[in-house]
Structure 1
Amino acid sequence: MVLGQHIIREQAKISQGRPKNFGRGVDVYFSADIETDGPIPGPYSMLSFALVYAGAYDGTTFYKPNEYSDRFYVELQPISEEFEEDALRVNGLDRTALARRGLPPSEAMTAAAQWVREIAGVSEPVFVAYPLSFDWSWLYWYFVRFSQEKSPFGYSKCFDIKTAIALRLGRTIGDAGRQNLPAAFQSGLSHTHHALDDAIEQAEIFAKLFTEEPPLV
């Protein structure tokens, strides 16, 4: 599939680091990952999340970070008494401890929104996840519900790596999961279910969509 395999590579030049200025019309990407104690926000709680500056794109050039050092990570107090043991087994977080030492959601979400806007300046912050649907539903809900700044990503400024992988490689969505990534698109990091680790891993995969040629088969 010529379009899926070549459109990003042909349209984007690659530059290391950041643009000199984040001007209007530039997309500034933030790789996001969350850990929760259940499937949906409201009845259940988001226990931690991370946002990592993952690059910028001005329509011509993709700016790849030299390192993923611009990062925001926080652990939150639960907002309800409901939880699923299976979710806690995956992420290893302690709800009881977080009730004591976690940040109140209003403080965490306001600080996160301010941090995103500080990094992006007048440019457009774009939320990046793999897959997008789960992480976006939680963070958008928490931003709207708790942040004094509301959502820095509006209601729709987001990028789904899974869909991009499907288009780039000419695959179905069902065949575009992490477990099926070709070596050229894999991160060198492990998927640990720690939000910061996984947000950085995801940022590396995202950058490779712009910088790596897809395999021929």
Structure 2
Amino acid sequence: MTYIMVDIESDGAIPSDYSMISLGAIVVDEALDKTFYGCLKPISENYNPKALAVSGFSREQTLSFEEPKIVMQEFKDWIHKVCDNRPIFISDNNGFDWMFVCWYFHHFLGENPFGFSSQNLGSLYKGIVKDTFKNFKHLRQTRHTHNALDDAKGNAEALLTLKKEYGLKIKF
């Protein structure tokens, strides 16, 4: 299995009504050198200015981004290039990130190379430390900037720390 840490930024709360603006992914391994980053043109006229502001992009910038079908095909091709086995989708907030990625894959390509499940880094950490009030964010090395690739990398670093310092049994 190949763990791929994913992060997305969007201009609203749900796919279809709103748009995924950027997508970052990184293969979780010691090197952290296999990355993907794409910026996607909005699919809807709707957008929440506060949600979009988190991404650091203006609406005008997003309108010049790549067509979503192209980015999703590039992401799928990248997944197949970096995985010779089953890709595992993991993210900080998989409820949010997964719904956008899964919807976009199915809507634009008719399939999701990750299958039908995802994993949540935050829940994994809570289980390891046996405390549902704790969070893992202090384990990131890369600053959380809301650039989807920076955030995916920081989360991948946290997962590596769970293996090295907390004894998480996981294969990369």
Asked if Structure 1 and Structure 2 have the same fold, meaning a TM-score greater than 0.5 normalized by the shorter chain, the answer is yes
Indicate yes or no: 2:40 matched with 1:76: yes
Q: Which secondary structure does the structure 2 equivalent of 1:189 belong to?
A: coil
User: Given that residues 163 and 176 in structure 1 are in contact (C-alpha distance below 8 angstroms), is that contact kept between their aligned partners in structure 2?
Assistant: no
Name which of 18, 30, 47 aligns with 2:21.
Answer: 47
The alpha carbon displacement at 1:114 in A equals: 1.3
2:146 — aligned with what?
A: 193
TM-score, normalised by the number of residues in structure 1: 0.73
Name which of 37, 45, 48 aligns with 2:11.
Answer: 37
Indicate yes or no: 2:98 matched with 1:136: yes
| Count of residues paired in the alignment | 167
User: Given that residues 53 and 71 in structure 1 are in contact (C-alpha distance below 8 angstroms), is that contact kept between their aligned partners in structure 2?
Assistant: yes
The alpha carbon displacement at 1:40 in A equals: 0.4
Letter in 2 for 1:36: S
Name which of 151, 155, 169 aligns with 2:116.
Answer: 155
The alpha carbon displacement at 1:178 in A equals: 4.3
2:127 — aligned with what?
A: 167
TM-score, normalised by the number of residues in structure 2: 0.91
C-alpha distance in 2 between matches for 1:208 and 1:53: 15
The alpha carbon displacement at 1:189 in A equals: 1.6
2:52 — aligned with what?
A: 88
How much identity, in percent, do the aligned residues show?
32
C-alpha distance in 1 between matches for 2:162 and 2:152: 16
C-alpha distance in 2 between matches for 1:147 and 1:176: 38
Letter in 1 for 2:115: G
Alpha-carbon RMSD: 1.4
C-alpha distance in 2 between matches for 1:35 and 1:178: 20
- Structure number with bigger Rg: 1
Structure 2 gaps, min length 5: 168-172
Q: Which secondary structure does the structure 1 equivalent of 2:166 belong to?
A: coil
